[in-house]
Amino acid sequence: MAVIAVANAKGGSGKTTTVALLATELARSGAEVVVLDCDPLGLAADWASRCGPDSRITAVTDITPGTLADHLRRLNRPDRHIIADLSAARDTLMAMALGLCDLALIPVQGSALDARGAIQVLELIQCIEANARAHINRAIVLSRVNPLVATRSLRTVRDLLLLRGMAMIETPVVERGAFREMFERSGTLYTLDAGQVRNLDRAQANMQALARDVMARIERGGRDAHGPFAQLCYQHGIATDEPCANDDEPSRQRVKGA
């Protein structure tokens, strides 16, 4: 099981698109995927609910700092991946997710505002590392990149984050109309009609390469990829599918999606 936390302290950076692309491709590889939608807007959960019964993608909403670890214990299975779509709030829930994940993935567009949001997440990660005396595996993924040319602002943002010591996922999320269509229609990139969506094959190839690079980053991290809070989370063993101890039934919603 891999736990991926997708975060940026600025909204509109491409977090939910990144979550949807990773969920789609990891599910296609045969794993179950659970999206923990920690954003009050609930866009990731709404998308997952419209993916269809065969997609192997579900979502959980109304995540709180008190229930996050319980959800992870309950969902812990070797054939299941968990992707957390975090809100832009740099709060306790974000800190918990960053400390529990195998990879903190930070989408960034080619703008100074996005870079500032990414740096705020990096500073939070460094604060957790300093207090826990442990490393958090993290990487930047460039999002909404022009497929034809790298703009000067994008290059500036990339260089700034590299100077900050941030690793970079090799495959960026390219700006594609197919990614917007994925949210406007029901389904994933694999259920869209190629006759109605331009460059769908290129969008799928982008998604496949992104997922490969992300999973390779987690595998390279090995034992160190586990967040500093993971041992505390799982030390009491693997939970079953019983309701979470700190979770009231009305607030825990399994969205039966794809």
DSSP assignments along 164-233, one per residue:
TT--B-SS-EE--HHHHHHHHSSS-TTTS-TTTSTTHHHHHHHHHHHHHHHHHHHHHHGGGGS-TTHHHH
3-236 sits in which CATH class?
A: alpha beta
239, pLDDT greater than 60: no
Domain locations in the chain as residue ranges: 3-236
The answer to whether 89 and 12 are in contact (CB under 8 A) is no
Tokens of 203: 């969008």
The answer to whether 141 and 126 are in contact (CB under 8 A) is no
200, pLDDT greater than 80: yes
Three-state DSSP class for residue 123: helix
257, pLDDT greater than 80: no
pLDDT tens digits, one per residue of 137-146: 999 999 988 8
Give the model's pLDDT for residue 116: 86
197, pLDDT greater than 90: yes
